[in-house]
Amino acid sequence: MSLDFDAPKTSEPEEVPAGKPASRTSSAPLWRLLLRDRVATVAAGILVLVFLTAIFGPMLVGDAATDQDLSRSNLPPFTLDTGWMNVLGTDPLGRSMLARLIVACQTTLSVAIPAVILSAIVGSIIGMWAGYHRGWRETTAMRVADVIMSFPSLLMAVVVLYVFSPSAANIVLILAITRIPIYLRTARAESAELQSRLFVDAARTFGASSGAVIRRHVAPILLPTLLTVATLDFCFVMLAESSLSFLGIGIQPPDVSWGLMVAQGRTYLQTAWWLSFFPGLAIVITTVSATVLAAWARIATDPAQRWRLTVPRSAKSRLVPVRKVVS
């Protein structure tokens, strides 16, 4: 009696993506993931430079942004004949464009950042409160958000600032009010989904109050999403402030912002192009950098997508064939 043993059979090659296991990617710190992405690293570096310029720049340039010298009116950029402070040229009053850009950076960010922070705090708190409790609270909050969003935010800002004085405080307040619905709707949707989760039910069963549940269990989960939304909203608010200044109802002289510099230089576009070009370039670079960083943060804070940041760029398109032995 003979026994036949079948030889081991091999199945068709299966394609397995080359990269690190997903279990190891979840423990990588955010700063290390950021360094893996060159584009996001450059964007983060630009934003850090912009923030440092806004904080320390005006102290370094002193009165150079306001000193007038008509003998140096509209000097072209990229020359050091009159000193490094005039490397980006001068305006019609002989003021340094570099110094004015630095001071305008502080003014622009001092409007955009408080507006984003104020709208994010108010909208997130109301949204979490409405989404967690549901019922009439949710209905009321959503109807108020719908009313605010029914008016274009920039148009509402134009009307309000035309009626009232266009001061920096009023600009921050009106821009914050128009952006509250963005955070309210986001926080409401996430909280409504989380309030039925098992860990939230367990916290309520053990006697935790609604405020404690929202503060300890709901808010930490919402924070990454809200930070991503705030980063994108920063771009919109900064562009809105620049647009209001360009229309003449934003920051008023003697203060200066990037949008106001673009507006003041538009009459000299054919003779002194740098008056509008450099502040416009600063707006574009800052908004693009914030957008790139927001896109990276959205992936980095999503456990289902975070592994993409750990796979080398060359390995994403490379598949390793693996043969399975079937007995």
CATH number at residue 151: 1.10.3720.10
In degrees and rounded to multiples of 5, residue 80 shows phi and psi of -110, 15
Task: Establish if 176 belongs to a structural domain.
Answer: yes
pLDDT grade, residue 105 (50/70/90)?
A: very high
Identify whether 317 is part of a domain: no
pLDDT tier, 22 (very low <50, low <70, confident <90, very high otherwise): very low
Whose CA is closest to 131, among 195, 226, 222, 227? 195
Angle at 262 between CA 256 and CA 263, to 5 degrees: 85
Range of the domain at 128: 104-285
Looking at residue 104, its pLDDT comes to 93
> According to the model, what pLDDT value does residue 69 have?
86
Six-digit token string for 234: 């920063």
Q: Does residue 70 lie within any of the structural domains? A: no
* 190-199: average pLDDT: 87
**For residue 8, what pLDDT is reported?**
46
| Tokens encoding 148 | 């605010």
Q: Establish if 260 belongs to a structural domain.
A: yes
Tokens of 12: 């068709």
Tell me whether residue 323 is in a domain: no
Indicate if the pLDDT at residue 323 is higher than 80: no
Q: For the whole model, what pTM was predicted?
A: 0.79
| 219 or 323, higher pLDDT | 219
Q: Which CA distances in Å does 260 have to 154, 280, 304?
A: 16, 10, 43
Split into its structural domains, the chain has a count of: 1
Look at residue 327 and tell me if it is in a domain. Answer: no
In a domain, 22, yes or no: no
Per-residue pLDDT at 114 exceeds 60: yes
- Name the phi and psi angles at 15, rounded to 5: -95, 120
Amino acid 21: pLDDT: 45
Q: Which amino acid is at 49?
A: L
The pLDDT of residue 111 is above 80 = yes
For position 315, what pLDDT does the model report? 52
Q: Is residue 40 part of a domain?
A: no
Backbone angles phi, psi at 17, to 5 degrees: -65, 135
How do residues 76-100 score in pLDDT, each as one tens digit? 998 888 788 889 999 999 899 999 9
Average pLDDT, the chain: 83
- Percent of the chain clearing pLDDT 70 (strictly above): 85
* Torsion, Cα of 144, 110, 228, 311 (10° steps): 170
